[in-house]
Amino acid sequence: MSTMTVTVPDIGGAEDVEIIEINVAVGDSVEQEQDLLVLETDKATMEIPCPEAGKIAKILVNVGDKVSEGSEIFELETDAAPAAEEKSEPAAEEKPAPAEEKPAAEEKPASEPAAEEVIELTVPDLGGADEVTVIEIAANAGDEVAEDDSLIVLESDKASMDIPAPRAGTLQEILVSVDDKVKEGDVYAKLLVSGGGSASAKADEKAPAEDKPAAPAAEKPAAEKPAAAPAESKTQTLNEVTDEKDIHNVYAGPSSRRLARQLGVNLTKVKGTGMRGRITKDDIREYVKAVVKQSESGAVGVTGGAGIPAVPAVDFSQFGDIELVKMSKIKKVTAANMSRAWLNVPHVTQFDEADITDLDEFRKSMKAEAEKQGVKLTPLPFMIKAAAASLVAEPSFNVSLHHDGEHIVQKNYVHIGIACDTPNGLMVPVLRDADKKGIYQIAKETNELIDKARNGKLKPNEMQGGCFTISSLGAIGGTGFTPIVNTPEVAIMGVSKAQIKPVWNGSEFVPRNMLPLTVSYDHRAINGADCGRFFTHFVALMSDVRRLVL
């Protein structure tokens, strides 16, 4: 057992480079080549690998410290026999190319301006690496590129490097593909340039690698930062297709990029928590964990699934003061249910009005008596009664689709759901056997269910088994809305605020109390004509209170 001091290797002549991440802790067992820390110049990030396997005995630096070649960074316990002066000496091929080794633009042979010509772009000096992998193609054939525009991105074990266009021109052809292995001198593209260059101009006219790394996140507008929240639905894939350029612009080091590729993670979706928003390997792991967790729970949030493009996350704090309020469980479940219904059900909504002048007069005349019996008589119990009777009259509405896709479930019971606004969110208690109950009993039981919903006392079985839901915003206002079917039910009614309107009775306009109604239905189970019949029946019952109580 011996202790060696790990020092910063040759980092291409860069001085006072900032440490932006320390990836290990004292006591960690580390492998040879494992990333120990990450340095960042204003041009590039570099991961410093461990020269030997061992155990971290001491960390000699902190994040934010500035280091240069030779700076002592760790003490490492190794199994090797003690030596006199052990300092880490990374192998030649591990070192990034020293700056002076890179051909500089001014080394180009001068030449007379020429007419248009096609030049071959070759892979430049790779700083000692033999073969590297093409990880991104940042431009397409036909693109007009400016000098220094990134064309391809290469990745070795130690670093990723942008290969910039040596001159402005039109890209004729890209001769490599993602995952190809290339080495110094390989021709990777052809560029049409006009005048002023050598006929044999090569890509290595430009210094590669760290000369033009991906822009750090800090340089990007905040709004472009990737989403913190992962995608949500079961069909969400980790690697939704994204423009290669967007991935290329993400602020992440080579090992994070490698991990993202291995796991199929689209880096533009990952929020970086490293310095200046850099994406770390842990960020990628956390992202994957969150996607898997949400996928397993079936929760659906602000982004889409089933091939639906995700809604980009927005950093609202850039527009003003904000605070994050935790969603209640009911709100989250409602969000998931609504998204599921919205995405699965082909909705159609029909509109109508019921003349409830007589019904409302009758209701008001009965109100005091009802109150004596402890019953609050709003229009809702009449609508529940009318809906139950309409379901009996039009059984095509009292169905659900069987999950085998081959059958319709015809229901011989009539349970009505009532959408109820509660402090915790929307709940739908279910009134059972509404077709067999009188108005007072419906009103009484409905009021009890509403109270329970608002006081968090509803039992699960009191929210199950609905055949049809009524969602009433009548006490609040509005002239109409299109509710989402409460699956596995196949239809829902939206009730808006009744208003006195002039109605033509054949000889004159008369003031009538008109109740605006909508019915949304699942067009897989119900046809427009079915809905027309159901709706007309319902409106007729509401318009003639005598028929309703029959």
Helix, strand or coil for residue 546? helix
d(CA 195, CA 36): 47
Give the integer Cα–Cα distance in Å for 183 and 374.
87
Per-residue b or e along 102-114, where b marks 16 or more CB atoms closer than 10 Å to that residue's CB: beeeeebeeeeee
Q: Which residues contact 89 (CB under 8 A, 6 or more apart)?
A: 9, 51
The answer to whether 177 touches 94, Cβ cutoff 8 Å, is: no
Taking the complex as a whole, the smallest distance from the CB of residue 304 to ligand CAO amounts, in Å, to 21
Identity of the residue, 258 or 367, whose beta carbon is nearer to ligand CAO in the bound complex:
367
Q: Least distance to ligand CAO from the beta carbon of 473, Å?
A: 6
**Which of 339, 333, 344 shows the shortest CA–CA distance to 297?**
333
Question: Whole-number minimum distance, CB 330 to ligand CAO, in Å?
Answer: 12
To the query of whether residue 402 is one of the catalytic residues in this protein, the response is no
Q: What are phi and psi of 223, to 5 degrees?
A: -65, -20
CA-CA distance, 455 to 433, in Å (whole number)? 24
Q: Between 236 and 446, whose beta carbon lies closer to ligand CAO?
A: 446
User: 55 φ, ψ to 5°?
Assistant: -130, 135
Select which of 248, 402, 403, 523 is catalytic: 523
* CB nearer to ligand CAO: pick between 133 and 446: 446
Cβ-based nearer residue to ligand CAO, 216 or 417: 417
Q: How far is the CB of 459 from ligand CAO (least distance, A)?
A: 18
Nearest residue (CB) to ligand CAO, 53 versus 473: 473
Binding site for ligand CAO (CB under 6 A): 378-380, 418-421, 426, 450, 471-475, 483, 495, 497-498, 515
Question: What length is written for the chain?
Answer: 550
> What does the alpha-carbon distance between residue 504 and residue 102 come to, in Å, rounded to a whole number?
89
Grouping H, G, I as helix, E, B as strand and the rest as coil, residue 38 is: strand
Contact partners, residue 94, CB within 8 Å, separation at least 6: 9, 49, 128, 157, 158
Residues 546, 535: Cα–Cα separation, whole Å = 18
- C-beta of 521: minimal distance to ligand CAO in Å? 14
Helix (H, G, I), strand (E, B) or coil at 513: strand
CB of 371 to ligand CAO, least distance (A): 10
Tokens of 331: 């709100």
Nearer to ligand CAO, 202 or 363 (CB): 363
**Residues identified as active-site:** 523
